[in-house]
Structure 1
Amino acid sequence: MLGSMATAASYRCARCGVRSPVSALTWCCPRCRGPWDLDFEAGPVPLGALSGRAGSLWRYEEALPLSDPYASLGEGRTPLVRLTDTVSAKLDYLMPTLSFKDRGAVLLAELARRLAPHRVVADSSGNAGTAVAAYCARAGLDCTVYVPGTTAPKKLEQIRAHGARPAVVEGDREAAARAARRAADEPGTFYASHVFNPYFLHGTKTYAYELWEDLGGRLPGTLVLPVGNGTLLLGAALAAEELLAHGLIEERPRLVAVQTEAVAPLAAAFRAGAEEVREPAPARATLAEGIAITHPPRARAVLRAVRASGGAFLTVPEDAIRAAQRDLAGRGLFVEPTAAVCWAAVRGARLEGDVVIPLCGAGAKTGLAP
């Protein structure tokens, strides 16, 4: 049984309007192969009633499409610490699997547990795979994670430790995604995709709900967010939309998206005034492997969200990423290179008002960038 909150939701393709019940294992729109959105009406979260609730992201139950989770590992409620007078960092690497991907992975695993597929597949450059592997272990689900050959050995070890099978694919991140999608088309398979399945976005939106709670019922003026597939940014935009609709904030935060100079298809499309990424960007090497996505499936939604917020795109070079990782480590915050890109961008930009950046993945997973 999915539970009353889940059965009120359904999948919908934003491109062509096709719908599907959540109980189906169809992982994308059968007509255009685009990612699903979720038709689900979030309720207002009562700020004054939160203090007595569970210390995890499940405290925002009115806003979530699933309730009473078995698969939870206590994820969420990460600290917010100040870096400068105007910039704070949310330490989302302090999660059960050491990355922000736990926010979405727990909803995917909980949904899969209730649907009881024969197996679960996922694709990842590392962090989403380790998160899905851990939560599938918690939920008692058979899991295979497709990863590119460049995946950090410590992340492969973590996937194996949770009992999942890493399927190493020759080629880049996109090659791993294609292999996972072929497997996802097989009968009885649940595709725990952090890109195509919108339950993941309803998990990542709790990042912004936590900021709203921690700041006493408001959001920062600017959220600076790393963007590859854009799942954290889209989650933050979703939370802002819900909070605004319920009169719980007065205005949306400005969304500033960060990509590397090496792989920046969304930044290029934004600056060109395009609504979509038409062609894949060249697959160049970058220290920030977690956001090296050459052709993001939700590009249109990311571009729309940034523009609607009055936001912008920033790109950072490799030497700035390397320097930012070391600078954060010198402040007691050891994160992986991908998690340092927002600090690299903020250090090189002049952003007005209060700014929050996420530190998304632990440095213990990768070590210092050479």
Structure 2
Amino acid sequence: MTALPDRYCSADGTRVPAASLDWCCPLCRGPLDLDYAPTPAPLKSLTGRTGSLWRYAECLPLPTPDCTLGEGRTPVVPLSDSISAKLDFLMPTLSFKDRGAVMLAALAARLRPERVIADSSGNAGTAIAAYCARARLPCSVYVPEGTSPKKLEQIGAHGARLEIVPGDREATARAAREAADEPGVFYASHVYNPYFLHGTKTYVHELWEDLGGRLPDVLVVPVGNGTLLLGAALAVRELHGAGLIDRRPALHAVQAAAVSPLADAWRAGADDLLSIPPQAPTFAEGIAIPNPPRARQILRAVRESGGAFHTVTEDQIRHAQLDLASQGLYVESTGVACWAAARETIPLEGRTAVVPLCGAGLKTGLASA
């Protein structure tokens, strides 16, 4: 079996052995990163490889697992002359979270815990439940009350035990982290576990391949806990470090105006969150995260790329969802936030951009006033 890389805390340097079930830094309780710096394969060597994200094997810390569902390789379609969309809702569980969930399930299958737990506002929990079912791993998913009934139905259908937590997304995360400290538990956290980020980075590796060995000028990414953005930053670093791209795209992060702690910090020039706002109602429930644990990393990644933060209103989200539907793309309300920003608030000025459409509209239905 391939040796697994160790994890480490970027805040204080504490190292955590690869085989440990520890889910956070034992000193500061912060998220962990992976001691792993792969070199991507050149474009021409990808011809004929498997049609999933596992075609980028050189950049993944795990070999192709038995629990794969063929995730990845989603299409890119134009939305305007300069903006294209990557249809990541065309995944086995209908969201981009499959990219990271397969990595966590594959890791758990190697570590063989007594049980797997996850917390989520819906899509990540669904993905973890599906891949744990595929890997024959017992799984519990903690979700906040008020989670979309369709998402609850999907999680339960995969055989996961649902733990519905009174309160908001933060209360759900606290309950899951408390359970994660119990012996024999693998915390399949899409926020704290760095393997998830090494799955989401394949979004950018696919873009690079689909665009013939280049990337757009701008990558527009929705940000709640920042798992897609940080994965994108990893991939850009890998491709640039290997000399496979000559410039790095700007990362433009999008939050709902109703819950925008990172955008507020960025506008103030801060390196970390200024405060933790209450979780206000928003159609973009998947990015309504008032206290993202990787806030410092997210802010740094956007600044280093030359990008910016943007917020979108509930009306903009609603109109963007209807506009995409009129183009044949039925996307959940969280997943349309980037299109709302790209068409109304991001000054592209002749630059090319790609937005991710992260979740299927059937998960939540249409946003309504």
Q: Which residue of 2 aligns with 1:360?
A: 358
Moved over 2 A (4+): none
Deviates more, 1:349-358 or 1:219-228: 349-358
Q: Which residue of 1 aligns with 2:284?
A: 288
What amino acid is aligned across from residue 79 of structure 2 in structure 1?
L
Q: Which residue of 2 aligns with 1:351?
A: 348
Q: Distance in 2 between matches of 1:203 and 1:148?
A: 25
What amino acid is aligned across from residue 258 of structure 1 in structure 2?
V
Q: Which residue of 2 aligns with 1:369?
A: 367
Q: Distance in 1 between matches of 2:237 and 2:37?
A: 11
2:304 pairs with 1:312:
no
What amino acid is aligned across from residue 321 of structure 2 in structure 1?
Q
Q: Which residue of 1 aligns with 2:206?
A: 210
Q: Contact between 2:264 and 2:274, CA under 8 Å: does it hold in 1?
A: no
Q: Which residue of 2 aligns with 1:14?
A: 10
Of 152, 172, 175, the residue aligned with 2:171 is 175
Q: Distance in 2 between matches of 1:194 and 1:360?
A: 15
2:233 pairs with 1:274:
no
Q: Distance in 2 between matches of 1:335 and 1:68?
A: 29
Q: Which residue of 1 aligns with 2:228?
A: 232
Q: Give the root-mean-square deviation of aligned CA atoms.
A: 0.7
CA deviation string 1:255-281 (max 9, x = no partner)? 000001100000000011110114312
Identity %: 67
Q: Distance in 1 between matches of 2:274 and 2:316?
A: 28
What amino acid is aligned across from residue 123 of structure 1 in structure 2?
D
2:97 pairs with 1:101:
yes
TM-score, normalised via structure 2 length: 0.98
Q: Which residue of 1 aligns with 2:191?
A: 195
Of 259, 269, 288, the residue aligned with 1:263 is 259
Q: Which residue of 2 aligns with 1:248?
A: 244
CA deviation string 1:153-172 (max 9, x = no partner)? 01000001000011000000
CA deviation string 1:65-118 (max 9, x = no partner)? 001311100000000000000000000000000000000000000000010000
Q: Which residue of 2 aligns with 1:143?
A: 139
CA deviation string 1:324-344 (max 9, x = no partner)? 001101100000000010011
Match of 2:151, SS? helix
Q: Contact between 2:40 and 2:56, CA under 8 Å: does it hold in 1?
A: no
Q: Distance in 2 between matches of 1:346 and 1:356?
A: 9
CA deviation string 1:158-194 (max 9, x = no partner)? 0010000110000001111111000000000000000
Cα drift, residue 49 of structure 1: 1.5
Q: Contact between 2:42 and 2:244, CA under 8 Å: does it hold in 1?
A: no
Of 144, 147, 153, the residue aligned with 2:149 is 153
Q: Which residue of 1 aligns with 2:66?
A: 70
What amino acid is aligned across from residue 184 of structure 1 in structure 2?
A
Specify every segment of 5 or more residues in structure 1 that has no aligned partner in the other structure, as ranges. Answer: none
Match of 2:47, SS? helix
Cα drift, residue 44 of structure 1: 2.4
2:79 pairs with 1:116:
no
Q: Distance in 2 between matches of 1:217 and 1:21?
A: 35
Q: Distance in 2 between matches of 1:204 and 1:137?
A: 20
Match of 1:52, SS? coil
Q: Which residue of 1 aligns with 2:299?
A: 303
What amino acid is aligned across from residue 354 of structure 1 in structure 2?
T
Of 45, 49, 66, the residue aligned with 2:45 is 49
TM-score, normalised via structure 1 length: 0.98
Q: Contact between 2:261 and 2:274, CA under 8 Å: does it hold in 1?
A: no
Q: Distance in 1 between matches of 2:41 and 2:190?
A: 24
